[in-house]
Amino acid sequence: MSVHIAWGRLRILTSKYMIFAQGITMNRRKFITSIATLTSAQLLSIPSLTTAAPVTTLGPEAKRRAGKISTMPRLFCTAYITPNAPGQGNQEHLAAKYPLIIVPQDTSKQFVEWRDKVRQLNPDIIMLGYQVVIEETTVPGPGHDRIRELKKDIWSKYPDCSYPTVGPSYKQRRLVDPRDTDWENAFLEGCYRTLTSYDYDGLFLDQCDVFPIAHPQLEIRNEMRYALQSTLLKLRAIIPNSIIVGNTKNSWSGLNGEMNEARSDEILDELKQFAHHKKPVVELVQTRLSGNLDKNKIISDMALAHSKGAFYGAAYDYQHILWIDEFDEIINTQYK
């Protein structure tokens, strides 16, 4: 992967390039759609993005794999596996059956060797490295380390100076304020570090959204959405040919697509065509299971996903890979 870096030129977003919406009451998906063209046009007028932004180019093998995406069977797997953890070993053969997989960005030896084994079993597999966007994280890896290097307050803050948090009481996580330019610069460099730390085909951006809890004022949340959208477009400028998928119910300009995670009732709505996705479009639908194996739910959700050309996956958790006979039928018949 050849790389040109000019990180100092990335501190370019100021209010000059932003028009903050006030009093907008439309739902968030429509809001993002309404600003996508405007934000793209603004960013194209910024010299450092059009001429000197850091750019990564795909190597020969990544180009070869990317060329197969349109004809791949529409199945994927989320595999946040720690290979030497009890009950999580020896799953490489299952992981390699999937055409597309999401994996941790951890660069320790056991994780690299695990990814290497999966690649050896399936040289065509599309592998997306995991990167958190909007939440505080303790997950190891070079991209997350770059965010943790920041020695300033980058977190969303309420008018009373309290911090909104998400997650269980024993692990509360603060939320980034995406208007912070130091965070933006660190996030973009962090994504670059993750992408180039292994032979990834792209990135999976987890928690890629501005949550209602982020701030009590609508206009502030709208500012945050504008800022996040512009950051994602800058990321696209840096990695123009890599796959980028966000975990969010909204559609974001510049991404190849988004993941619908455990929202069966919203699959068709979230898979509506979005003109500002980067091609090839890579939409994901993830079913989360509990209790007995519910094949009827898997088959129903999978049919909805495949009717719109999306990749489909099902799991009880992301540490144990699930494979059912019906997936073999998809592999053997889809796009043949």
pLDDT tens sequence across 203-216: 999 999 999 999 99
Tell me: cis bond preceding 142? Omega within 30 of 0 counts. Answer: no
Q: What percent of the chain has pLDDT over 90?
A: 81
DSSP string, 207-225: T-S--GGG-S-HHHHHHHH
pLDDT digits (tens, 9 = 90+) for 192-205: 999 999 999 999 99
pLDDT in the model for residue 47: 36
Mean pLDDT in residue range 36-56: 47
pLDDT in the model for residue 30: 53
Query: What amino acid occupies position 67?
Result: G
pLDDT in the model for residue 335: 75
Query: What amino acid occupies position 209?
Result: D
What does residue 239 show for φ and ψ, rounded to 5 degrees? Answer: -125, 70
Confidence of residue 46 (pLDDT cuts 50, 70, 90): very low
CATH code for the part of the protein at 26-333: 3.20.20.70
pLDDT in the model for residue 20: 32
CB-CB contact of 115 with 103 (8 Å)? yes
Greater pLDDT, 169 or 54: 169
pTM of the model: 0.88
Greater pLDDT, 215 or 48: 215
Pair of tokens at residue 222: 């709208």
User: Please, which residues bridge with residue 287 across strands?
Assistant: 314
Domain ranges of the chain: 26-333
Q: Is the pLDDT of residue 84 over 80?
A: yes
Residue 139 CA from chain centroid, whole number: 15
Pair of tokens at residue 225: 């959405």
